Amino acid sequence: MKTAIKICGLRRQEDIDCVNEARPDFAGFVIHVAKSPRNVTADMLAQLSGRLSADIVPVGVFVNEPPETIAMFAGRGLIRAAQLHGQEDDNYIRRLRQMTDIFLIQAISVTGTDSVKMARQSPADAVLFDCGSGGTGKTFDWHLLDGVRHLEKPFFIAGGIGVNNMEAAIRRFCPFAVDLSSSVETDGFKDKAKISEAVALLRSINNEAKER
């Protein structure tokens, strides 16, 4: 199985140009999260998503956003997936599912050995394992995800993933996708060379796995 790659935290037109050239599978936008330095407004999302190549899936990253707002963005075609990073519970996800059929990803903070069990119980289409609020560049204890290779649903691995440990993460977990943000930045801004290097490495890892 090929592993996909998501570049998260895009907020400038230059960022979109970079990913359009590198061609990751997913592009993440942190929406209405004022405390995040990567936050974008609805107007910014419309401009950035509209500039994104059609073969890259735009993902809205939300923290306790009203489901009606997420459904509105999806209905306008601005996002094709939603990543939920707050305290959204099962009822919230089911309610959102009634409003939209986009791909729903629930973020799970890996703090104990029950993370895989929590992922298995999630009603979301996929889960994302991270060390906390996201975009911190910190890596969680990978030993806490022992057994995740047997998870029945797609999962993303985030939290300090970069070119230095991407191959190790893929070999260990066989994830549906890896999620990168701060590792492809320089001085807090997305770096074209780092994005290109990360995507190229991912493609190389996939090609090597295919040839085995």
| pLDDT tens per residue, range 108-148 | 999 888 999 999 999 999 999 998 655 566 788 999 998 89
pTM of this prediction?
Answer: 0.95
Are residues 135 and 155 in contact, defined by beta-carbon separation less than 8 angstroms? no
pLDDT of residue 200: 98
Instruction: Tell me which DSSP letter residue 184 carries.
Output: G
Catalytic-residue membership of 8: yes
Within a 13 Å sphere around the CA of 183, how many CA atoms are in the beta-carbon half? Answer: 22
Helices (runs of H) and strands (runs of E) counted in the chain:
7, 11
Are residues 41 and 212 in contact, defined by beta-carbon separation less than 8 angstroms? no
CA dist 104 and 71 (Å) reads 11
pLDDT of residue 113: 85
Tokens matching residue 129: 């394992």
* Three-class secondary structure of residue 177 per DSSP: strand
pLDDT of residue 139: 85
The secondary structure of the chain in percent helix, strand, coil, rounded to multiples of 5, reads 40, 20, 40
Which residues in the chain come in under a pLDDT of 70?
132-137, 212
Catalytic position from the list 8, 15, 18, 179: 8
User: What is the helix (H) or strand (E) element at residue 81, kind and residue range?
Assistant: strand 81-84
pLDDT of residue 191: 98
pLDDT of residue 137: 65
Catalytic-residue membership of 130: yes
Tokens matching residue 85: 């990073």
Which own/partner contact pairs does 79-85 have at CB distance under 8 Å and 24+ positions apart? 79/29, 79/45, 79/49, 81/26, 81/57, 81/105, 83/28, 83/59, 83/107, 83/128, 84/124, 85/33, 85/61, 85/133, 85/134
CA dist 23 and 17 (Å) reads 10
Catalytic position from the list 15, 18, 25, 130: 130
Residue type, 148: V
pLDDT of residue 147: 84
